[in-house]
Homo-oligomer: A and B are copies of this chain.
Amino acid sequence: MKNIQFSATSAVSHQDLLSLMPQVRAAQQTLVQGSGEGNDYIGWLTLPDDIQCQIQDIQATAALLRERCEIIVCIGIGGSYLGAKAVNEALLPFFGAYHQQQPAIIYAGQNISEDYLYELQQLLTHHSFGIICISKSGTTTEPALAFRLLKSQLEQQIGESAARERIVCITDAQRGALRTLATQQGYKTFVIEDNVGGRFSVLSPVGLLPIACAGLDIQALVDGAREMKNLCYNQNVEEHPAAQYAAARTILYRSGKTVELLANFHPKMHYISEWWKQLFGESEGKGHHGIFPASVDFTTDLHSMGQYIQDGERILMETVLSIEQPNHSVIFPHDEQNLDGLNFLSGKRVDEVNKMAELGTMLAHVDGGVPNMKITLPQLNEFYLGELIYMMEYACGLSGYMLGINPFNQPGVEAYKRNMFALLNKPGYEAESAAIQARLKK
């Protein structure tokens, strides 16, 4: 069977890669032996095995929600949002909303936009809907705010008792506001384990339930992740793609490339890149270090960011996510007149043009001084996304330890929250409120 492949032949030399391998091996030992900083957050390492016993329950819960709801609203932010969003966007058809595909999966609690919440509430008024609320504590502002609004709307629309059958909470096993509420109300729940951080949680119920609700095959997703786990655990670091990727980007970062562009040539991959940005940015952006993660969707962004990539500041490295086989076939038609001059493409599949754009772009960017790496998925499906997710998570762990930081915390995320609470006079923030008001008066 084919697996995801990694290649960096035009970015780093084989010799440089080999030279770094002792460091990669050391990082891997730190990671899998749990001897490094953040070792209380490495439950994701064995998640592909550990989660198996919950798959059936998740599938059954999803089936009930799908039966009962025209719209399923998934409430969550950051790691409680991006994994499911990424997989669902990658695998669901474009234009599903125009086809009135049901149930529709819509996200909330990922922003504090008044217009967004207003327009969402208007939409829900006309539909039977359910809610999946994902929050470890139940008090993160964005999801808690959305949940209070939408839960109250649901109860008004169908009554508290019927609402109970359409609300599922994914939260801490015992503590926190959402656990307390779920116990009181008798909501169906799943557990966010203490040793799995948000951005590493897509293969837990956090990601799997919304993905199953979209009608996708979570067993295949987990199977793919397990396959990649076996590669990571059993192959030499020289051979498995996670270590190769971690090594190559580390070498490039140390050579002065401070920005990594994750590029795709398939628009459905857009949110995979967003998920990746959280994974790496939040893991590595510490102590004034770390690669700045950015993403581009090609070929469209070749007509916006292409000029900069080709010839701007030489601070970029680029990683291309390539999909070997598209899922559908469109043959480019012949045209007698050929005014557009495209008859040289007649009879070719559209993807063949796309692939030559991809290859042509990689060659051009290398010529322009942007080292290119490539990660190849044989196809865009649950199995290979499972492989990709695990590969990226594992690479992130290695990469972080080589950078010398704790890849599993995110202390900097609290800064804006503290200010926000102070500005909103949240109880318990009285001293901060006074300080920030004094600062603003200056």
Contacts and interface: CB of A to CB of B under 8 A. Distances in A.
B95 A123 contact: yes
A230 interface: no
Interface stretch (A19-27, A147-155, A210-218, A220-228): A147-155
Interface stretch (A33-41, A106-114, A388-396): A106-114
Given A77-B300, A297-B111, A356-B420, A307 B292 contact: no
A285 B309 contact: yes
B112 A281 contact: no
* Number of identical protomers: 2
Interface string A247-272: 00000000000110000011110000
Contacts of A350: 112-114, 117, 145
Interface stretch (A52-60, A159-167, A231-239, A340-348): A340-348
Contacts of A267: 111, 113, 116
Nearest to A380: B115
A181 B341 CA distance: 12
A265 to B, nearest CB: 7
B304 A415 contact: no
A57 B284 CA distance: 54
B326 A357 contact: no
A315 interface: yes
A226 to B, nearest CB: 26
B286 A311 contact: yes
Interface in A101-155: 104, 106, 110-121, 123, 138-139, 141-142, 144-145, 147-149, 152
Given A97-B97, A111-B297, A113-B266, A303 B328 contact: no
Given A300-B77, A328-B119, A368-B412, A281 B312 contact: yes
**Centre residue among A198, A353, A411 by max chain B CB count within 10 A:** A353
Nearest to A77: B303
Given A281-B304, A311-B286, A265 B112 contact: yes
A423 B360 contact: yes
Interface string A356-370: 110111011101110
A307 B412 contact: yes
A329 B199 CA distance: 32
Interface stretch (A43-51, A78-86, A187-195, A200-208): A78-86
A119 B93 contact: yes
A292 B259 contact: yes
A278 B305 contact: yes
B303 A286 contact: no
A432 to B, nearest CB: 10
Nearest to A153: B333
Interface in A293-328: 293-294, 297-300, 302-316, 326-328
Given A178-B339, A293-B308, A306-B416, 15 more contacts: A111-B299, A114-B328, A115-B268, A118-B330, A142-B300, A180-B339, A258-B313, A259-B259, A288-B313, A310-B412, A311-B412, A341-B427, A344-B424, A344-B427, A365-B416
Top-3 shortest CB links A-B: A285-B308, A78-B303, A360-B419
